[in-house]
Amino acid sequence: MAGVAAAIAVGLALSGCATPGASAESAGDQRPLVLATFTVIADIAREVAGDAARVESLTRVGVEVHDYEPTPGDLVRTEGADLVVTNGWGIDEWLLTLVERADAPHVVLSDAVEPIPIESGHYSGSPNAHAWVAPSEGARYVEALRVAIGDLVPAERAAVDARAAALTARLDALGARLRAGVARLPERHRVLVTCEGAFSYLARDAGLDEASLWPVNAGGQGTPQSIAEVAAIVEERQVPTVFCESTTHPGTQEQIAREAGARFDGSLHVDSLSTADGPAPTYLALIEHDVDAILEGLGG
């Protein structure tokens, strides 16, 4: 928290200056600014808003969002926002002190979600923050943003509603594809093994068991016990592919895969989009990539 306090102290000194964090292309753009904490939820907002608003993410692609420390520029950008979008449930609470200083409305997307608690470790009992990676919960995020962005740009409400409906339909189709694909898998292969336990919502919807090396990236690393448990599951169920999320350190999981003769796939995207030339440059592409990677990986 010392980092937050320091950031705010410096940020206060910078208030009223130019916005150092704002993107160059936003200069002169008069549309309202929707500011989200990380790239994934920023892209959901962008898809819902279309051309009706400017949407930016405070953190960049590939950043480990759980442990992010806001900068003075982030405070200035937050104060300039017309709508602030956070996920909530711990993953982006580093912004909360900054948001309190902003006049803009603030939408917390996880407010629309029934939480699944984290099962082990330091955060045991707290809600698992990663709801957006399940298409069904992503649709709840879309609905919350449809209302918030419609209120921000009421003249564009019909277009925003239409964009939200189209995005929800795409998510529904991806959710159905995932469920149908999992139903075709041999029962023992219906287990999703990851580094961070970021797939609880998706696994629940898809009918997959879930095993992970650590429950949440914030300070997360596998314990000897969790590593042994995951390795035993991979061995017993002859899991064809084990996964890591793109923002995690994959070494332990790669070793588990090697020892069990399983494949390793470190490409699941959860906490960040990829760059434009990667597999998940948008939220929809992220969900589609993860669904395909999981079905292909477990089908073999």
User: Any contact of residue 136 with Zn ion (CB under 5 A)?
Assistant: no
User: What is the nearest approach in angstroms of Zn ion to the Cβ of residue 279?
Assistant: 18
Site mask, Zn ion, residues 145-184, x = CB under 5 A?
----------------------------------------
Select the residue interacting with Zn ion from 137, 271, 288, 290 (CB under 5 A).
271
In the bound state with Zn ion, the residue whose beta carbon lies nearer, of 150 and 279, is: 279
Residue nearest to Zn ion (CB): 271
User: What is the nearest approach in angstroms of Zn ion to the Cβ of residue 29?
Assistant: 31
Query: Is 258 exposed, middle or buried, given 0-12, 13-18 or 19+ CB atoms closer than 10 A?
Result: exposed
In the bound state with Zn ion, the residue whose beta carbon lies nearer, of 271 and 288, is: 271
- Footprint of Zn ion on residues 188-217 (CB under 5 A)? 198, 217
Distance CA(67)–CA(218), nearest Å, equals 6
Site mask, Zn ion, residues 82-101, x = CB under 5 A?
--------------------
User: What is the nearest approach in angstroms of Zn ion to the Cβ of residue 198?
Assistant: 5
User: What is the nearest approach in angstroms of Zn ion to the Cβ of residue 219?
Assistant: 12
User: What is the nearest approach in angstroms of Zn ion to the Cβ of residue 223?
Assistant: 18
Q: Are 114 and 53 in contact (CB under 8 A)?
A: no
User: What is the nearest approach in angstroms of Zn ion to the Cβ of residue 181?
Assistant: 24
Q: What is the 3-state secondary structure of the chain?
A: CHHHHHHHHHHHHHCCCCCCCCCHHHCCCCCCEEEECCHHHHHHHHHHHHHHCEEEECCCCCCCCCCCCCCHHHHHHHHCCCEEEECCCCCCHHHHHHHHHCCCCEEEHHHHCCCCECCCCCCCCCECCCHHHCHHHHHHHHHHHHHHHHHHCHHHHHHHHHHHHHHHHHHHHHHHHHHHHHHCCCHHHCEEEEEECCCHHHHHHHCCEEEEEECCCCCCCCCHHHHHHHHHHHHHCCCCEEEEECCCCCHHHHHHHHHHCCEEEEEECCCCCCCCCCCCCCHHHHHHHHHHHHHHHHHC
User: What is the nearest approach in angstroms of Zn ion to the Cβ of residue 66?
Assistant: 6
In the bound state with Zn ion, the residue whose beta carbon lies nearer, of 36 and 75, is: 36
In the bound state with Zn ion, the residue whose beta carbon lies nearer, of 128 and 282, is: 128
Q: Are 239 and 193 in contact (CB under 8 A)?
A: yes
Q: Which amino acid would we find at residue 124?
A: S
In the bound state with Zn ion, the residue whose beta carbon lies nearer, of 182 and 198, is: 198
Query: Which range, of 48-56, 181-189, 230-238, 266-274, touches Zn ion by CB under 5 A?
Result: 266-274
How many residues touch Zn ion under the rule CB under 5 A: the total is: 3
User: What is the nearest approach in angstroms of Zn ion to the Cβ of residue 64?
Assistant: 8
In the bound state with Zn ion, the residue whose beta carbon lies nearer, of 198 and 202, is: 198
**Residues of this chain that bind Zn ion (CB under 5 A):** 198, 217, 271
